[in-house]
């Protein structure tokens, strides 16, 4: 039993590490390294497809919500991504990567709403501030508005993730899928 727990922990850490590579390549490399970002996102899904396939509806909901809130933040003038009118293509792939990692490596957050909010409030703004340092975006509002806005945005998204993980959104299997 203990080796299973160790394997599970190691697997989660591996997925988080792979997503960190996705984040770095996407944010630092942007359009220049987009093929590499896509490759690492594909690797995340390939390493994880058995876990993700039953959760695909929740995964799509989280990614769509994330992209919608990103669009809202840019439209409100909180942040502007470099060389993009609204959202750059690398950000789309980054969201695909986050979804793949989150639905496996962060499954322990299921139903832990307060903890999910704390993670979102703290770590959400930090990633955007790092992106600004990498010149992937620029703050087009005040520093405070960016921190509060992205903190709340990520609090909401992490709450949604926690909910989706808890619900596990069972998928109705059609006859064709069972053949």
107 — pLDDT class (breaks 50, 70, 90): confident
- The secondary element (H helix, E strand) that includes residue 116 is helix 113-133
In whole angstroms, what is the distance from residue 163 CA to residue 143 CA? 30
Does residue 161 fall inside a structural domain?
yes
Does residue 53 fall inside a structural domain?
yes
Domain that holds residue 9: 2-173
Number of domains in the chain: 1
- In the numeric block, the tokens 């190691």 are attached to 10
Does residue 17 fall inside a structural domain?
yes
Rounded CA Rg of the chain:
17
Q: What is the pTM of this model?
A: 0.86
Does residue 179 fall inside a structural domain?
no
Q: In this model, does residue 125 exceed pLDDT 50? A: yes
């Amino acid at each position: 039993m203990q080796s299973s727990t160790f394997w599970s922990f190691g697997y989660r850490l591996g997925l988080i590490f792979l997503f960190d590579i996705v984040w770095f390549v996407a944010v630092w490399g942007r359009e220049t390294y987009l093929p590499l970002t896509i490759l690492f996102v594909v690797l995340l899904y390939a390493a994880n497809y058995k876990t993700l396939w039953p959760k695909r509806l929740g995964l799509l909901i989280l990614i769509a919500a994330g992209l919608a809130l990103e669009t809202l933040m840019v439209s409100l003038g909180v942040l502007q991504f470099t060389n993009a009118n609204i959202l750059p293509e690398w950000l789309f792939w980054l969201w695909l990567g986050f979804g793949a990692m989150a639905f496996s490596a962060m499954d322990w957050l299921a139903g832990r709403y307060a903890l999910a909010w704390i993670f979102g409030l703290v770590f959400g703004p930090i990633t955007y501030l790092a992106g600004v340092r990498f010149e992937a975006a620029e703050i087009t509002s005040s520093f405070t508005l960016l921190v509060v806005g992205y903190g709340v945005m990520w609090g909401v998204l992490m709450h949604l993730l926690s909910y989706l993980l808890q619900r596990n959104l069972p998928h109705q299997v059609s006859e064709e899928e069972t053949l």
